[in-house]
Amino acid sequence: MPESIIIDTDPGIDDFMAILFALKSPELDVLALTTVFGNHFVEITTRNALRLLEHAGRDDIPVARGAYSPLVREFRDPPTVVHGQDGLGDAGLSEEPDSTIAHTRAAQFIVEAVMSRPGEITLVPLGPLTNIAMALKLEPRIVKATKRVVLMGGAAFAQGNVSPVAEANIWHDPEAAALVFGADWAVTMVGLDVTMPVIMDTQYIAELAASKTPYAEMIARIVPHYQAFHTAAYQTNGALHTHDPTAIAYLIRPDLFKTISRRVRVNTQGYGTGQTIVDGAGIWYDGVETTICVDVDAQGVLDLYKARITR
């Protein structure tokens, strides 16, 4: 029985790669995409989500638009240097969609879906956690009705990617992240500790493209911009760190990951804003524990991704 998931997303090049991965994996049933600001303004990430599903031949999957900005902060400068002016590598994949978004906005959409199927739906946030926090505020009972939350975000013991300690998704809306990590539900954090080591090099990307499957061809079109960013930022010589697809890999093959259960708090102030603070000793915080991915069989994730996308 495939796991029913709602992907909350800010496509975004790696979101695009992750969603295609999920669509190609029989272990998962993608019920909907809910969109959020982050890699771009939410109008752009929503357009990109609609276009992705059209390109993928899955415009049967609904898209519900979400938050324009964080709970209490401003969102002004989308990271176009990372994902391009159109959010998808400026590769011509983001022209105006034919399909339209669902009438219901993301937070309400999540509440209605989860409450209609208690215990059956997994939330998979791949962007800032604003929609998830809003859903919690709209209907606190989703805490018990949600099967689990598997999110790409945070850094347990690894360096941050938008500050020495903060990962981008958490940093964009730390107040929302604090609510999500602090609620009494099953959260798994797929953070930079395990996404940075999953590296798609130029040979790997060429092998994806050589398969000439429709999904691989779309990925080959949008990644050059992302490769250029990684080369400039991390001197990777065209290789890229694989963030959002690694969260999807966890859903499919959790055995490729090592996890610990610890309590997590999110810093919302000062230089540490956006830090996911892990109570490693288990003595400082109380409340619910988070399942934290701390190690990964990176080659196993890459092999799984290639097997699905080139199939």
| Interface residue list for ligand RIB (CB under 6 A) | 10, 12, 14-15, 38-39, 126-127, 152, 161, 167-169, 243-244
C-alpha–C-alpha distance, residues 13 and 250, integer Å: 19
Give the helix/strand (H/E) hosting 8.
strand 3-9
Of 172, 230, 241, 243, the active-site residue reads: 243
C-alpha–C-alpha distance, residues 144 and 150, integer Å: 15
C-alpha–C-alpha distance, residues 230 and 228, integer Å: 5
Cβ partners under 8 Å of residue 257, min gap 6: 190, 194, 250, 293, 295, 296, 297
The smaller minimum CB distance to ligand RIB, of residues 148 and 230, is found at 230
The smaller minimum CB distance to ligand RIB, of residues 10 and 297, is found at 10
Of 8, 10, 14, 244, the active-site residue reads: 10
Give the interface size with Ca ion as a residue count (CB under 5 A): 6
Rg (CA), the chain: 18
Listing DSSP states for 52-88 in one string gives HHHHTT-TTS-EEE--SS-SSS------HHHH-TTSS
243 is catalytic: yes
The smaller minimum CB distance to Ca ion, of residues 250 and 263, is found at 250
Contact 99, 59 (CB under 8 A): yes
Applying CB under 5 A, the span of 82-90, 120-128, 249-257, 283-291 interacting with Ca ion comes to 120-128
Cβ partners under 8 Å of residue 206, min gap 6: none
- The answer to the question of residue 78 lying near Ca ion (CB under 5 A) is no
Rounded least distance, CB 53 to Ca ion, Å: 16
If one counts every other C-beta atom within 10 angstroms of the C-beta of residue 250, the result is 26
The smaller minimum CB distance to ligand RIB, of residues 39 and 267, is found at 39
Six token digits for residue 26:
């029989």
Applying CB under 5 A, the span of 55-63, 127-135, 201-209, 288-296 interacting with Ca ion comes to 127-135
Question: Which residue in this structure is represented by tokens 């998704």?
Answer: 169
- Binding mask 235-274 toward Ca ion (x if CB under 5 A, else -) reads ---------x------------------------------
Rounded least distance, CB 279 to Ca ion, Å: 26
Report the residue closest to ligand RIB, judged by CB: 168
Which residues in this chain contact Ca ion in the complex, by CB under 5 A? 10, 12, 15, 126-127, 244
Residues noted as catalytic? 10, 243
